[in-house]
């Protein structure tokens, strides 16, 4: 990132940043996981680990890149654009995002794009994995029809259809190569030499993580968002502020 930021038009103002991260629960959590930490205790959803050293170290690393070194863009630097929009606009040399963003990037970017697996943290490798989920209402009047629909929604046929129509990465690892071929067919020039399958690296190698949640996640989200606004967006509070926020999150779990 140090080599990828700067003033490209010579007006004395920074207009290119090395990278950017969404200031959101899951995106920050992945960095914390890479430092060996957690937001929520994996064994107790009432216990907060946000104020522990691994979490604080990871978030301080991000804060320093944004506010001390200015090599990562903060929301105000890009006029509150999302990471995907700022990247396509040429304000970011790199961006942290998932395969769900690839179609928009390929359609809108006027430059060649490369893909790489999310870098490992000091303690471990972690990357975010999410997918659509399906369920059957326990009191449905049509259990057999619902079960048949469920079988279709998790089938290879449906996975291929979604991959082809919307370029959405299949949950089935066995369909990844099919998905890659659909993307290359739609954007042959823009994807030449692109390692599209890197998006499935965490799935294939077993280091993908899902969002950690508390018993009262709504309270945890409300408290953390307010703190992250002060720390990352406005640069007005130190990361150590999260020690108290962690206590507040844990207090909010009582009775849940």
- The gap from C-alpha 43 to its chain's centroid, in whole angstroms, comes to 23
* Lowest model confidence (mean pLDDT) among 120-124, 129-133, 184-188: 129-133
Give the span between the Cα atoms of 50 and 52, in whole angstroms.
6
pTM of the model: 0.90
Q: Domain map of the chain by residue range?
A: 19-130+210-252
Q: How many Å is the Cα radius of gyration of the chain? A: 20
For the stretch 65-109, pLDDT in tens is 999 999 999 999 999 899 999 999 999 999 999 999 999 999 999
Give the span between the Cα atoms of 72 and 90, in whole angstroms.
14
Q: Which residue has the tokens 């009191």?
A: 139
Please give the full DSSP string across 138-196, using - where no structure is assigned: TT-S-HHHHHHHHHHHTSHHHHHHHHHHH-PPPSSGGGHHHHHHHHHHHSTTTTTT--G
19-130+210-252: CATH superfamily: Periplasmic binding protein-like II (3.40.190.10)
For the stretch 107-130, pLDDT in tens is 999 999 999 999 999 999 999 998
């Amino acid at each position: 990132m140090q080599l990828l930021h700067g003033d490209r038009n010579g007006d004395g103002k920074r207009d290119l940043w090395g990278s950017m991260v969404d200031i959101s629960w899951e995106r920050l959590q992945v960095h914390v996981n890479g430092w060996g930490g957690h937001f929520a205790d994996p064994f107790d959803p009432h216990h907060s680990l946000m104020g522990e050293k691994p979490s604080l170290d990871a978030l301080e690393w991000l804060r320093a890149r944004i506010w001390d070194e200015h090599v990562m863009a903060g929301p105000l630097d890009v006029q509150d654009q999302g990471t995907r929009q700022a990247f396509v606009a040429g304000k970011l040399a790199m961006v942290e995002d998932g395969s769900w963003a690839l179609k928009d990037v390929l359609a809108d970017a006027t430059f060649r794009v490369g893909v790489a697996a999310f870098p490992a943290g000091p303690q471990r490798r972690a990357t975010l994995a999410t997918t659509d989920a399906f369920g059957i209402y326990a009191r449905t009047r049509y259990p057999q029809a619902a079960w048949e629909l469920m079988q279709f929604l998790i089938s290879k046929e449906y996975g291929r259809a979604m991959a082809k129509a919307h370029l959405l990465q299949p949950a089935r690892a066995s369909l990844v190569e099919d998905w890659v071929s659909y993307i290359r067919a739609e954007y042959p020039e823009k994807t030449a030499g692109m390692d599209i399958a890197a998006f499935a690296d965490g799935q294939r190698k077993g280091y993908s993580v899902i969002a950690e949640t508390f018993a009262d996640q709504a309270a945890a989200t409300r408290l953390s968002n307010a703190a992250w606004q002060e720390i990352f967006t406005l640069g007005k509070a130190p990361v150590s502020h999260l020690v108290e926020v962690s206590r507040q999150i844990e207090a909010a779990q009582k009775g849940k």
